[in-house]
Amino acid sequence: MTVFILTNNSYCSLLFESVLNRYGINIKIYSNYEELKKSIKQTNEILAILLDLPNPKLRELRYWIELLKLTPVPVLILSSDKEDPERILLRQKTTLILGQPLVHFFKNLHLNKIEDGQRNLIGDIIRLSPDVIFNLAKQCIVKSDENLDLSSMEYKLLYILVYNLGCTLSADKLMDWVNLYSISSLYVHIANLRKKIESDPKSPNILLTDKGKGYTINMNNVQFINESSSSLFSQQNKFE
């Protein structure tokens, strides 16, 4: 997926390109509104649109309204007053300050797009072991006929690990994708998740630790209720 950016600011372009590319999110830069609008009409592979408008006039705000009508994706405005030298500096600081939250915003959009596109491949019901079922639709674990609700963070972690079945994901990658800021928080969520899916959380058999590398799901007992989901194993666009 691609983020379209309308800007004449090379600093802004380089900032978002260097940060977003790390998460597999492409960006395309436009300096002309008409070219941007033309491209939007020609593709459906848009994650979001960012308008860098230092001092937006009424005409530019009308551009924003027009784009909102043209596409269902989020259209964001990055703005400050370029006439005041102090505000030029503020603009640069704002770009840096907004950079991190926007990265998380784009990552979440990207994750949701992948989840929507792959749900039919994975299926809504996944058997992690003979006695443990991951119900994606209800966001819960069924363990020995008992329903255990998953927190939002537990669901995201388990979903990403299942989607990357056969791969080991480092702690850093998991923290990036679910927006955790400390390794201790990740350990807590992993421990809580293991309490719900493992028969013995201290000796896990489903959510495994690959020492020095990260976490992975034990493939031996995994069964997808939807037979077409077997194509998951050949997917190339894993979380990276």
Residue after which a domain boundary falls, among 94, 120, 146: 120
Strand order in the sheet with 26-30: 26-30, 2-6, 46-52, 75-78
CATH number, domain of 112, equals: 3.40.50.2300
Amino acid 108: pLDDT: 59
Is residue 97 one of the residues assigned to a domain? yes
Amino acid 112: pLDDT: 59
What is the tally of structural domains in the chain?
2
Residue after which a domain boundary falls, among 120, 147, 170: 120
DSSP-H helix ranges across the chain: 10-20, 33-42, 58-70, 85-122, 152-163, 171-178, 183-197
Amino acid 98: pLDDT: 44
Amino acid 226: pLDDT: 52
Do 86 and 22 share a structural domain?
A: yes
Amino acid 201: pLDDT: 93
Partners of 124 in beta bridges: none
Residue after which a domain boundary falls, among 99, 120, 141: 120
Residues with pLDDT less than 70, the chain: 22-23, 56, 79-123, 225-240
> Residue 16 and residue 27: Cα distance in Å, rounded?
8
Amino acid 234: pLDDT: 37
Amino acid 9: pLDDT: 80
Range of the domain at 97: 2-120
Do 136 and 79 share a structural domain?
A: no
Single pTM value for the model: 0.51
